C-alpha cells in the first residue's frame, strides 16, 4: 500500500469514476490507474469499485467506507508537509484563493496588495468560479481558502466563517425614467427590464425572494456573473441593474445613477471557508485576518477545533 494508490482512488472518485479523466488529472495513463487500484484492492482483500467490463460504475459498500479513510490519510499527509514547510520556510510557499469574480475584482485587491508586501516570497494564486466550484476546490485541496457569498456553508467538509456583510445597489443610466426619482421601490423596479447576477452569484436568491415576498413578477432580461458586464449593459439602456454595493465605483461608474437598496433586499454575508482538519500555514492565517479582521488566528483555530461553521 502506498500514497500513490490512495491518490489514484481519491481522484477516480472525484472524477465520478471516469478513469480517463482521473488519469489526465494525475498525469499518468488509464491502464496505470486501473493497475494501481487493482493492486490496492488485492492487498486489502476487498473490491473498492463495482465494475462493468473495464468501467467503474459505483463504489462498493467497503469502498464507501474506505474513501473516507483515504481522504483522512491523504489530508494528514498533506498536513505533515505543511507543518514542515511552516517551520523550514515560514515566509515562503504557495497560497491559492478560490473566489468569485465580484470578490476578486472589488473586495480582494487591497487585501492582496497588502499581503504581497508582507509576504513577498509567497506565490499567490486566484481561482475564479461560481460558488459551488469554489467550495469543491477547497474540499479537494486545490485551493487553501474559499471566499464567496453563497454555498460555502452548505458543505459538511468545510468550516465557513463570516467575512463581511453587504447590500445591493440599483443602477440606471441618466436618461432612464427611474433616474428622476429620489428613492426607489421594488414596485418601481419591477416595471422595467432587469439586469442582474446569475442564479448562483452575489445574493441573487435574496433579490428573487424580495420580489416574490411582494407578489411581484420581474422580467430579468440578462444575467451575468460579472458586475462590470451588468453595468455595461445598463449603460446601453437595456435595463435596470441590481449589483453588489461593493461593485459600484464612484469614479468609474459616474455615468450611472445609483440608488441605495439596503432597505429593499436582505443583507448578504460573504464567507471565508477552509477545509476541516487542515493545517494552516502562518501566512494563511494572516491573509484571512487581513480580509476579515474579526477572524483572528484564535477564532479560526476555535472554529477548526469545534468543526462547525461560525454564525454570522
Give the CATH number, domain containing residue 129. 3.40.190.10
Q: Are 51 and 190 members of one domain?
A: no
Alpha carbon distance 107, 76 (integer Å): 32
Alpha carbon distance 174, 312 (integer Å): 37
Q: What is the mean pLDDT of residues 170-174?
A: 95
Number of domains in the chain: 3
Q: Are 74 and 208 members of one domain?
A: no
Q: Are 130 and 154 members of one domain?
A: yes
Q: Are 147 and 279 members of one domain?
A: yes
Residue 117 included in any domain: yes
pLDDT above 80: residue 277: yes
pLDDT bin (cut points 50, 70, 90) of residue 75 is confident
Q: Are 243 and 296 members of one domain?
A: no
CA 18, 23, 26, 32: dihedral to nearest 10 degrees? 130
Q: Give pLDDT, residue 205.
A: 87
Containing structural domain, residue 155: 92-165+269-306
Sequence-distant (≥ 6) Cβ neighbours of residue 22 within 8 angstroms? 8, 11, 12, 14, 15, 30, 33
Q: Is 90 helix (H, G, I), strand (E, B) or coil?
A: coil
The closest alpha carbon to 5, from 22, 139, 20, 16, belongs to 22
pTM: 0.75
Percent of the chain having pLDDT more than 70?
Answer: 97
Residue 159 included in any domain: yes
Alpha carbon distance 1, 243 (integer Å): 52
Residue 261 included in any domain: yes
Q: Are 41 and 188 members of one domain?
A: no
Higher pLDDT, 62 or 71: 62
Give the CATH number, domain containing residue 54. 1.10.10.10
Alpha carbon distance 14, 32 (integer Å): 17
The closest alpha carbon to 105, from 202, 203, 242, belongs to 202
Q: Cβ distance 307 to 159 under 8 Å?
A: yes
Residue 142 included in any domain: yes
Q: What is the mean pLDDT of residues 249-274?
A: 92
Residue 260 included in any domain: yes
Instruction: Write out pLDDT tens, residues 205-257.
Output: 899 999 999 999 999 999 998 899 999 999 999 999 999 998 998 898 988 99
Amino acid at each position: 500500500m502506498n500514497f500513490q494508490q490512495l491518490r489514484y482512488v481519491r481522484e477516480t472518485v472525484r472524477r465520478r469514476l471516469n478513469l480517463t479523466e482521473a488519469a489526465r488529472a494525475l498525469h499518468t495513463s488509464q491502464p496505470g490507474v486501473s493497475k494501481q487500484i487493482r493492486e490496492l484492492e488485492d492487498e486489502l482483500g476487498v473490491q473498492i469499485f463495482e465494475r462493468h467490463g473495464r468501467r467503474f460504475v459505483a463504489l462498493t459498500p467497503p469502498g464507501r467506507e474506505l474513501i473516507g479513510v483515504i481522504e483522512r490519510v491523504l489530508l494528514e499527509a498533506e498536513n505533515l508537509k505543511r507543518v514542515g514547510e511552516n517551520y523550514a520556510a515560514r515566509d515562503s510557499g504557495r497560497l491559492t484563493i478560490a473566489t468569485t469574480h465580484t470578490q476578486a475584482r472589488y473586495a480582494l485587491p487591497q487585501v492582496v496588495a497588502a499581503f504581497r508586501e508582507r509576504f513577498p516570497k509567497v506565490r499567490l494564486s486566484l481561482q475564479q468560479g461560481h460558488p459551488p466550484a469554489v467550495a469543491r476546490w477547497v474540499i479537494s485541496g486545490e485551493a487553501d481558502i474559499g471566499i464567496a457569498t453563497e454555498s460555502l456553508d452548505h458543505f459538511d467538509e468545510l468550516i465557513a466563517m463570516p467575512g463581511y456583510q453587504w447590500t445591493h445597489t440599483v443602477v440606471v443610466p441618466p436618461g432612464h425614467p427611474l433616474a428622476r426619482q429620489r428613492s426607489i421601490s421594488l414596485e418601481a423596479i419591477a416595471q422595467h427590464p432587469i439586469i442582474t447576477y446569475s442564479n448562483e452569484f452575489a445574493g441573487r436568491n435574496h433579490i428573487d425572494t424580495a420580489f416574490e415576498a411582494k407578489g411581484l413578477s420581474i422580467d430579468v432580461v440578462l444575467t451575468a456573473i460579472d458586475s462590470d458586464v451588468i453595468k455595461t449593459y445598463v449603460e446601453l439602456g437595456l435595463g435596470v441593474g441590481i449589483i453588489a454595493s461593493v461593485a459600484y465605483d464612484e469614479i468609474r461608474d459616474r455615468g450611472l445613477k445609483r440608488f441605495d437598496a439596503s432597505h429593499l433586499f436582505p443583507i448578504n454575508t460573504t464567507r471565508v471557508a477552509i477545509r476541516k482538519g487542515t493545517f494552516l500555514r502562518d501566512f494563511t492565517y494572516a491573509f484571512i485576518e487581513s480580509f476579515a479582521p474579526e477572524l483572528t488566528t484564535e477564532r479560526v483555530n476555535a472554529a477548526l477545533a469545534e468543526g462547525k461553521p461560525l454564525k454570522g
